[in-house]
Amino acid sequence: MSGFAACDLRDAGHVVVFTGAGVSAESGIPTFRDALTGLWARYDPAALATAEAFERDPALVWGWYEWRRAKVLSAAPNAAHQAIAELAQRVPKLTVVTQNVDDLHERAGSQDVLHLHGSLHASRCFDCAQPHELPLLVPEHPEAGQRIEPPLCRHCHGMVRPGVVWFGESLPELAWERALEAARSCDLLLSVGTSGLVQPAAEIPRIALRHGAQVVHINLQPEPVNGIREYTLAGRAAQVLPTLLAQVSGQ
């Protein structure tokens, strides 16, 4: 089946790579729904990912997200991230759309990545929405204590919040519109390391399929597929994607 996918990649004029937590998990980044460890073990991640939780206990929520950011900063892009970045040199047009809030695609060399769920590295003021630049290192080790007071906005002195999309919030409008446009116009979409359950982002592969694209699902477990334009490749993204890239490159 990978041979068919490689042929489709070679023939495609516009490829979309749509990634989820499974790609970053191979770099050691805990997925959002993983059981928490250490001092965070008694908290439900979903209970920390709301504006109401931040208003109720900003230091607790900021500490949780700084713990996540520390994990990302200590991680490195894996072979899947690198293969996606290199694929951009092998096809006429590549659009990377991710549900991940880390910067591992960018660190691997991908350009103009569309972040549907925001970024841990793009914090902003809770009140006035002005962006706030974060240090490259987490100043306090989040596992040393449960709470870290968030910084204050330089413009209005409101509290700075994580730059991620919380439950109950809309996706970033520009990123979402560009992702929809890419899904409607692409020839082939690679859906990599995503459960396909988180809405509305999960609609991206389905939209591509409805608009005539080939869709290839790459996950640890085979995905149910319908029709001749939808494939599934079971395996680790860090193994499957470099293999596809090598086939596209004729190696």
CA distance 247 to 75: 28
CA distance 117 to 164: 6
Structure tokens at 43: 């908290």
Give catalytic status of residue 117 as yes or no. yes
Structure tokens at 165: 């999309």
Structure tokens at 45: 């991640």
How far is CA 247 from its chain centroid?
Answer: 25
Task: Kindly report each contact of residues 175-182 with a partner whose C-beta sits within 8 Å and lies 24 or more positions away, as own/partner.
Answer: 175/114, 175/115, 175/116, 176/116, 176/200, 178/95, 178/114, 179/95, 179/97, 179/114, 179/116, 179/204, 180/204, 180/207, 182/14, 182/16, 182/95, 182/97, 182/114
From 115, 117, 132, 217, active-site residue: 117
40, amino acid identity: W
Cα-based distances in Å from 201 to 98, 132, 188, 218: 9, 26, 17, 16
CA distance 200 to 170: 9
CA distance 119 to 117: 7
Catalytically active residues are: 117
